[in-house]
Structure 1
């Protein structure tokens, strides 16, 4: 089993309905393909953690590369793991807004995520807050 953490940028014109459609399709497809994880969207950029069998994650990344709703995919972390950190989330959306986003994130993220991954996620959140 593997975990991928990646960021991407929303394409110009990305709207709330696009997010609803993306979450519905992701939850359905991920459940079928044994992929779990979460998605953070700051209004401009996505950060996503996905976990599952490598062939399923690779197929997901290939589909994402063709998805016109986002661009500039950049993998931040790619690691082997012997367990799921988000076993019940086929696609959990973590909403960030307000000055307490980092604090709220700490309450939602799985506490046992590897420390280096937590740091990368928090860095994304801090950068997003600085740009808001």
Structure 2
């Protein structure tokens, strides 16, 4: 099991309704690929956390990099994990300020840094957990 995290700049033509539709389509596709995760959206950028089999994440990331709905894709993390932070297969859309949901489910140093990295990206400080799904 692996986790891949990236951020990107949202295309100016992409509105919120299109983002919601994109997440619904991704949720179905991700379930078939045994991938779970969340798409964090702050109005200008995406930060996406994907979890699942390494091969499936690699294929999905290659597809994501070519997607014209965003640009400037930068991979922030690609690491082995022992448990999912997002156990439900599919995709969730998270917007706005992160809200604490408790401690991360794993205790490796890199995993503990991931929530702080997400919070720093959105500029909301260093809350202890991931954003609340919308």
If the TM-score is normalised by the length of the shorter chain, which range does it land in?
Answer: 0.7 to 0.9
Look up the match of 1:34.
34
| Bigger share in helix | 1
Deviation at 1:110, TM superposition (A): 6.3
Higher normalized contact order (CA 8 Å, seq sep 6+, divided by chain length): 1
Shift in Å, 1:17: 2.7
Partner of 1:7: 7
Question: Tell me, what secondary structure is at the counterpart of 1:13?
Answer: coil
Tell me, in whole angstroms, the C-alpha distance in 2 between the residues paired with 1:81 and 1:89. Answer: 16
TM-score, structure 1 length as denominator? Answer: 0.83
How much does 1:66 deviate?
1.5
| Structure 2 residue ranges without an equivalent (≥5) | 125-134
Q: Who is 2:129 aligned against?
A: none
Q: Normalised by the size of structure 2, how large is the TM-score?
A: 0.82
1:123 to 110, 120, 130: 120
Unaligned stretches of 5+ residues in structure 1: 128-132
Runs of 4+ in structure 1 deviating by more than 6 angstroms, as ranges, are none
- Deviation track 1:25-83 (CA, whole Å, cap 9, x = no partner) reads 11011001000011110111001100011110011011111211111111111111122
